[in-house]
Amino acid sequence: MTKSSKSIIALIALSLASAGFVFAAAAESKIAGCCAKAAADGKKCAHECCVAAAKEGNNCTKCKGAGKIEKKAEAKK
């Protein structure tokens, strides 16, 4: 195998990996049940794990949430 064909394979592997990252980033986000309940009441979930996750911009995975918190333009009237 020549050097150039090796680097082409490396490039293909790299592009596949980055495509995987894009896919992971587009994964569905899911708000944990407890947090959704709190939000419905106009509150923030008081669970320590949820507060910590929210600080990172994530939904609490401990409470069966997943992915990033979707920032919606909240209609505060």
CA distances from 47 to 3, 33, 41, 53, 57 (A): 55, 12, 15, 10, 15
Instruction: Check binding of 66 to Zn ion (CB under 5 A).
Output: no
CA distances from 53 to 27, 44, 56 (A): 17, 12, 5
When the beta carbons of 6 and 68 are compared against Zn ion, the nearer one is 68
Instruction: Check binding of 47 to Zn ion (CB under 5 A).
Output: yes
Instruction: Check binding of 54 to Zn ion (CB under 5 A).
Output: no
Instruction: Check binding of 45 to Zn ion (CB under 5 A).
Output: yes
Total chain residues near Zn ion (CB under 5 A): 10
Instruction: Check binding of 32 to Zn ion (CB under 5 A).
Output: yes
